[in-house]
């Protein structure tokens, strides 16, 4: 059975969640010490590197090519409305000038700058909402219990770069709360707090209560900040689907996080997805009422690869003509039984039919036109030239030009009589 938000459900959501849902499309950025070995963000775990060995990347980290303005400008060119940056990944290396550990980019690297401060300022200047990712799991902090990390055949009790037999998770939670307080108070408006990976933590009620206290602090400091579901589900405003798109909309706000390339962190041998693939994913997600958080992994110099950038710009050009069918829309009905249609999105008075192919007979049949149709046109047509529409019982037949105006991403607008 397909579940969709009722109007009552939408109306009852907090304002911060409704505003976040309107944005639809954001940029995820995974960047840290792991960009130096260029084998992905899990390289420390994959190669079993102790903290002393992995930490040798810190004095090598001097990304002279980093330019916050360029990153934010690329997100804008892609049509993205918000940005989420990895403040601390599983390796524990902090990408801001935290006072709570010297294991950070300002104190431990020759770079000596705070990229979060620069990105937050640029997002404010260029009109994007800034957010931070924070890994609960930490392979560096000794009070993060090894048993709460990922277990494999190689690491049956979990992996930690600096294991400690008497690790105290509550002390680690104090550290986490202190760092989040820094992030929530030192960088202006924070629109998203994106937690990641908590292993077996938060199964105990005292841990869950501590998590609730942290979420309360976040909302006291940043009332408009949305929080995902990876703090043991505590305080979650939305759920996260990773590297997959759900088959249908769920009954809660959701976001799909996916990568432009294969890995989250920079990997030298990754294959980059092309623009049409990203457009199809965006349409699929928007049609199911979700948000799309699309990741790039800058290299050790702080540069986003040109192939990734080119694919993002192609999405942006499509959104320049068709963004009305994505930003600010709600989910439409399932297109499971609709030939040539990939998805539908809605806003008051309009429905947007996203084509996945141009029909050979020049006709699109839509069997879920449940209101009075007053017109149809191709969204990318600046003249809004009317398309002939034959109205049937709760369905319409739309006649199209012989040739598709674009090779991918054509959108038909159906206008409805307002009630």
Q: How far, in Å, CA of 7 to CA of 23, rounded?
A: 19
CA dihedral 155, 158, 179, 116 (to 10 degrees): 30
State the pairing for strand pair 341-347/350-355.
Answer: antiparallel
C-beta pairs of 330-338 under 8 Å, 24+ apart in sequence? 330/5, 330/10, 330/289, 331/4, 331/5, 331/249, 331/286, 331/287, 331/288, 331/289, 332/287, 333/368, 334/2, 334/248, 335/287, 337/367, 338/365, 338/366, 338/367, 338/368
pLDDT, one tens digit for every residue, the chain (419 residues): 233 333 434 446 899 999 999 999 999 999 999 999 999 999 999 999 999 999 999 999 999 999 999 999 999 999 999 999 999 999 999 999 999 999 999 999 999 999 999 999 999 999 999 999 999 999 999 999 999 999 999 999 999 999 999 999 999 999 999 999 999 999 999 999 999 988 899 999 999 999 999 999 999 999 999 999 999 999 999 999 999 999 887 789 999 999 999 999 999 999 999 999 999 999 999 999 999 999 999 999 999 999 999 999 999 999 999 999 999 999 999 887 788 999 999 999 999 999 999 999 999 999 988 888 999 999 999 999 999 999 998 899 999 999 999 999 999 999 998 76
pTM of this structure: 0.95
Q: How far apart are CA 72 and CA 122, in angstroms?
A: 7
Q: How far apart are CA 379 and CA 34, in angstroms?
A: 43
CB 417 within 8 A of CB 371: yes
Query: Is 387 a member of any domain?
Result: yes
pLDDT score for 249: 76
Compute the residue count for the chain: 419
pLDDT tens, 306-344? 999 999 999 999 999 999 999 999 999 988 778 899 999
Domain count, the chain: 2
Last residue of a domain, one of 308, 325, 342: 325
Is there a contact between 148 and 173 (Cβ–Cβ < 8 Å)? no
Q: What's the CA gap between 291 and 6, in Å, rounded? A: 18
Q: At what angle do helices 169-185 and 205-221 cross, to 10 degrees?
A: 10
From the list 378, 354, 339, 359, the residue with the least C-alpha distance to 388 is 378
Q: Which domain holds residue 347?
A: 332-416
Are 82 and 37 within one domain? yes
The CATH number given to whatever domain includes residue 381 is: 2.60.40.1180
Residue 372 lies inside a defined structural domain of this protein: yes
Q: Do both 209 and 176 map to the same domain? A: yes
Q: Is residue 267 a contact partner of residue 40, using CB atoms and an 8 Å limit?
A: yes
My answer on whether 312 and 403 are in the same domain is: no
**What is the SS3 assignment for 24-70?**
CEEEEECCCHHHCCCECCCHHHHCCCCHHHHHHHHHHCCCCCCCHHH
Instruction: Give, in order, the Cα–Cα distances in Å from 367 to each of 84, 125, 248, 376, 386.
Output: 39, 45, 19, 15, 20
176 and 106 share a domain?
yes
Q: From CA 373, how far away is CA 351, in angstroms rounded?
A: 10
| pLDDT attached to residue 419 | 61
- What residue has token string 């319409």? 396
pLDDT at res. 339: 85
Residues 145 and 46 in one domain: yes
Q: List the one residue out of 267, 300, 265 whose CA is nearest residue 64.
A: 300
Query: Do residues 259 and 364 share a domain?
Result: no
pLDDT the model gives residue 13: 86
């Amino acid at each position: 059975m397909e579940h969709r938000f009722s109007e009552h459900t939408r109306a009852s959501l907090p304002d911060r969640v409704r505003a976040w849902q309107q944005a639809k499309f954001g940029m995820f950025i995974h960047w840290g010490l792991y960009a130096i070995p260029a084998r992905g963000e899990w390289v420390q775990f994959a190669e079993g590197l102790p903290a002393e060995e992995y930490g040798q990347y810190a004095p090598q980290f001097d990304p002279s090519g980093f330019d916050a303005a360029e990153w934010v400008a690329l997100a804008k060119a892609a049509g993205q409305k918000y940005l989420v940056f990895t403040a601390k990944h599983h390796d524990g290396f902090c990408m801001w000038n935290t006072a709570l550990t010297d294991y950070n980019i300002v104190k431990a690297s020759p770079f000596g700058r705070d990229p979060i401060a620069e990105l937050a300022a640029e997002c404010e200047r260029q009109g994007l909402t800034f957010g931070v990712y924070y890994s609960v799991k930490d392979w560096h902090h000794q009070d993060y219990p090894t048993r709460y990390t990922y277990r494999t055949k190689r690491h049956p009790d979990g992996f930690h770069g600096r294991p400690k037999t008497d690790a105290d998770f509550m002390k680690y939670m104090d550290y986490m709360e202190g760092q989040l307080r820094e992030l929530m108070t030192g960088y202006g408006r924070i629109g998203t707090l994106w937690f990641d990976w908590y292993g077996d933590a938060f199964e105990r009620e005292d841990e869950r209560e501590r998590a609730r206290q942290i979420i309360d602090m976040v909302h006291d400091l940043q009332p408009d900040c949305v929080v995902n579901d990876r703090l043991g589900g505590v305080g979650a405003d939305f759920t996260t689907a990773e590297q997959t798109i759900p088959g249908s909309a769920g009954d809660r706000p959701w976001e799909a996080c996916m990568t432009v390339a294969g890995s989250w962190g920079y990997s030298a041998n990754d294959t980059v997805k092309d623009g049409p693939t990203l457009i199809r994913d965006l349409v699929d997600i928007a049609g199911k009422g979700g948000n799309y958080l699309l990741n790039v992994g800058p290299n050790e110099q702080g540069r986003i690869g040109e192939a990734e950038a080119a694919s993002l710009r192609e999405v942006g050009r499509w959104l320049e003509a068709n963004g009305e069918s994505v930003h600010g829309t709600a989910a439409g009905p399932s297109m499971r039984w609709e030939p040539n249609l990939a998805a539908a999105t809605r806003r008051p008075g309009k429905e947007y039919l996203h084509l996945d192919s141009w029909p050979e007979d020049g006709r699109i049949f839509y069997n879920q036109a449940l209101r009075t149709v007053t017109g149809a046109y191709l969204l990318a047509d600046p003249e809004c030239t009317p398309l002939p529409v034959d109205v049937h019982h709760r369905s319409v037949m739309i006649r199209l030009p012989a040739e598709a105006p674009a090779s991918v991403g054509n959108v038909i607008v159906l206008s409805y009589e307002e009630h």
